[in-house]
Structure 1
Amino acid sequence: MKTLLTGGTVISMDPAVGDLVHGDVLIEDGVIARVAEHVDAPDAEVIDATDRIVMPGFVDNHRHTWQTAFRGVGADWTFPEWALAMHHTLKPHYQPEDVYAGTLLGRLEALHSGVTTMLDWYHVAQGHEHEDAAVAALRDAPGRSIFCLGAGWGTPDPVDADIRRVRSELTGDGLVTMAWGLRGAEDTSMDTLARELKLAAELDLRTSLHIDGGYGTEHPVTALCEHGLLRETTTFVHANGISDEELCMLADAGSSVSISPDVELKMGFGSPMTGRVLAAGLRPTLSIDDVPSVGGDMFSTMRTAFAVQRGLDGGLRCRDLLEFATLDAARSCGLGARTGSITPGKDADLILLRTDDLTVFPVTDPVATIVSAGHPGLVDTVLVAGRVVKRDGVLVGVDVAALRRRLTDSRDRIAAAAGLADAWLPRA
């Protein structure tokens, strides 16, 4: 099967391919076959990309998707308030169907806004049925997803048998794969971390962990380094409180750092680490974190990270932000060879952004426009592994009205079970 995207402005994020003011992208069997100013493919399905920017889909490497039903309620919360509300007040009342509804709609929301690859950092930790519901939702959403089975905030942590059980269901390199969300050095012993990292290597699992978001202990990376527990397969989330020396330790180990700028600023973690991460020789990556507190799109996330760092030292360029949110994030997920750039041989995970929308027209500098003025309303078309999952601004084959009702019912049931007054909830 062949698909030809024709006549768009191609922002490839691959220096060897470059950018094209007007270019074509040929896709064969879900894989990018050719990128050029003109591609002759008379037997291909044609998608007219005139007045569109064609770019790699965004990669979000840290989002707690199960919380989608409570979008916006935590916009004023600090981190301790969020932890109390989400993990201690609401989470105990989640049933598997609630996990499924929140994860499915949250993953579709991400696709709708151009996030073709997303790591779902799961920490509901209520039981096997809840885990299976989250995996089922990711499979039912036509995106590239990583189910990151995480440690659980006051509830039982994943044990070896549980990790092995889920891993046995998520083998191969399909659209839904697996990672392991570890507890950090502040939360468990070095012996436990060593054992879990050994098992992760045995099962070929990448790992992710939250580390010192401003509320942890001092020098957690130093402790990991001294025990030989830093890995290039680990992503450290937030890391606002760690020292420049510790960042260099992460760089030496080849680890990655995921920055959630909106959450970090609003919840009191401190300034995002973008500039300091770069200075240490690392490539920052970007993530949403949770939608009860912030918006779920990568456009606003890039804009916050850009504005904060430019205000501090003026050192970033717009293309840096696009790299953080595409190729750099793909590499942090172990998917740099499959996605993150428009490169022949990679899977066709692509988005088409409108340039004729009045909020961005005229688009004189495409990269600057995406970072400074982009928003989900520009996302016209989304392809994952060559499959069109959003066309003409509408998700393909999704009954949005039914999903809305399902998620609203889930929200109301959980809130009632938690003893929360109706006035606490946003009303349609």
Structure 2
Amino acid sequence: MNRTLIRGATVITMDTLGDLPCADVLVTDDKITQIATKINADDALLVDAGGCIMIPGLVNAHMHTWQTALRGLAANWTLLEYFKKMHAGLATVFEPEDLHIATLVGALNQLNCGTTTLVDWCHNNKTPAHNDAAISALLESGIRAAFFHGTPKPDPKPGEQPFWAVPHPRTELERLLNKYQGHELLNVHAAVLGPHYCTLAVALHDFQMIKALGVVGSLHQGGGAARTPEGWNQLEAAGLLGEQINIVHGHALSDAQLQRFCDLGMSFSVAAENEMTQGHGYPITGRLRRLGKAPSLGVDLESVMGGDMLTQARVALGMQRSLDNFEYRLVHDSIPPTSTVNTREALRWVTVEGARMLGQLHRIGTLAVGKQADLVLIRSDDLNMQPMHDPVNTVVMQTTLANIDSVMVAGRWKKRQGRLLDVILAPKLAALQASGKKIMAGLGLVANGF
């Protein structure tokens, strides 16, 4: 039995205990076993957390981690350029080792930024070896991960069916479930096309598969015209919608559809920064809030932007406040009397709601006795953080990567005093750079200025 006593932090539990200005947290093996103002545990390893804010580990609810070696390359692309240049271009030259190094470094960066749970939405996996390479990287990193098995989206070659007419490969998904499901830090789920991007026959097949296998089914919605406009009605009529379905982005849904989907318990993941950057449309955060629902948040693409989740919380919060403020001014011709969305709600989007989307809120997403010890220590005594008047405001609005001091996953420290543990980064970064150059060279491209 391993016990760690974390002493003297300002603790934001996001649970029934609320915020504790100075508290101790006792971790036994992989679980939180006590939270109190003063804990005596002489046999525990003592960690002084004075000058720190403790929060639940962040949940990145949607990221295509395979694109880590292409960081910044797509920063000026619209969604249509991304489809053409990434999926029909760069993605086609990835080998299993490229997926492995991209996923490994991407997952390590998530840990470094305070994310303890990563939803890896992998849709550049043309062989079983690609899937195994990505999953082995997640396991090597030590992050808690949900591997969402997707499918590539290349342009069809002569004689080939287009990707939107090909059912999800159930046999491969079942192989991955049999091999990996139940691992301490890994779950396997399905990343399907969904009716916006596939034929009705494929959508029916994929949603029936999701229900039969008992996995979460996640899909993109929005971005151009729908391939099967009537698809959602058919899926609903077939009884294939429910809590197991996660919609990413959620654009091009009517108010009536959104209401029904919320009533059915479906979840929604928003990537506010990328949606605004690539032209998806305004994030649906406000539409969900009006229906009493909240989104989880994801980075989406490190080929476009940075990977830290607190930035995503700030962007999503700022965008929704902006939309609400603009709407109020149109009606009242004045500034709103107060903000419509507060910082605690934004923090829920990157903790509680990500856990809920995965069906894991009973295990992660908040700090509570009996839950997994996934937590982050943030230096609140740093130059950019003082004076601290409200810890939640400080976390959401002031915190940067420089303040992420320590990260624990399942009771094991993955980062301490500002440094990742048990990893030598230099050779991994060299391999990532080599992979990125190789992928670009495969299409006759070179990086600007390099």
> Which TM class, normalised by the smaller chain length?
over 0.9
State the identity as a percent: 36
Distance 1:426 1:404, change over 3 A: farther
Matches within 5 A, 1:19-418: 19-154=19-154, 158-216=168-226, 218=229, 221-313=232-324, 314-418=339-443
- Structure 1: runs of 5 or more not aligned: none
Distance 1:3 1:391 in 2: 14
3-state DSSP of counterpart to 2:428: helix
Distance 1:215 1:109 in 2: 35
The Cα offsets for residues 391-412 of structure 1, whole Å up to 9 and x where unpaired, read as: 1111101111111100001011
Decide whether the 8 Å contact of 2:65 with 2:122 is kept in 1.
Answer: yes
Which structure's CA Rg is the greater one? Answer: 2
Distance 1:107 1:426 in 2: 27
Paired amino acid for 1:91: A
* Equivalent residues, number: 424
Decide whether the 8 Å contact of 1:219 with 1:243 is kept in 2.
Answer: no
Question: Which shows bigger deviation, 227-236 or 347-356?
Answer: 227-236
Distance 2:222 2:213 in 1: 27
Distance 1:36 1:124 in 2: 46
TM-score calculated relative to the size of structure 1:
0.96
Distance 1:24 1:7 in 2: 6
Question: Which shows bigger deviation, 224-233 or 251-260?
Answer: 224-233
Structure 1 counterpart of 2:10 = 9
3-state DSSP of counterpart to 2:306: coil
Distance 2:49 2:24 in 1: 8
Once the two structures are TM-superposed, the CA of residue 214 in structure 1 deviates from its matched residue by 4.9
TM-score calculated relative to the size of structure 2:
0.91
Distance 1:358 1:223 in 2: 56
Decide whether the 8 Å contact of 1:214 with 1:268 is kept in 2.
Answer: no
The Cα offsets for residues 56-112 of structure 1, whole Å up to 9 and x where unpaired, read as: 011011100000001011111100111112111211111111000000000110110
Once the two structures are TM-superposed, the CA of residue 228 in structure 1 deviates from its matched residue by 2.6
Once the two structures are TM-superposed, the CA of residue 173 in structure 1 deviates from its matched residue by 4.8
Distance 1:170 1:379 in 2: 31
Question: Which shows bigger deviation, 302-311 or 145-154?
Answer: 145-154
Decide whether the 8 Å contact of 1:181 with 1:209 is kept in 2.
Answer: yes
Once the two structures are TM-superposed, the CA of residue 211 in structure 1 deviates from its matched residue by 0.8
Once the two structures are TM-superposed, the CA of residue 282 in structure 1 deviates from its matched residue by 1.7
Distance 1:13 1:221 in 2: 34
3-state DSSP of counterpart to 1:32: strand
Decide whether the 8 Å contact of 2:168 with 2:202 is kept in 1.
Answer: no
Distance 1:426 1:367, change over 3 A: farther
Decide whether the 8 Å contact of 2:167 with 2:202 is kept in 1.
Answer: no
Paired amino acid for 1:183: L
Q: CA RMSD in A?
A: 1.6
Paired amino acid for 2:23: G
Distance 1:293 1:26, change over 3 A: same
Decide whether the 8 Å contact of 2:196 with 2:225 is kept in 1.
Answer: no
3-state DSSP of counterpart to 1:361: coil
Once the two structures are TM-superposed, the CA of residue 215 in structure 1 deviates from its matched residue by 4.6
Distance 1:214 1:288 in 2: 21
Once the two structures are TM-superposed, the CA of residue 300 in structure 1 deviates from its matched residue by 1.1
Decide whether the 8 Å contact of 1:109 with 1:296 is kept in 2.
Answer: yes
- Structure 2: runs of 5 or more not aligned: 155-162, 325-338
The Cα offsets for residues 367-398 of structure 1, whole Å up to 9 and x where unpaired, read as: 11111122121110000000001011111011
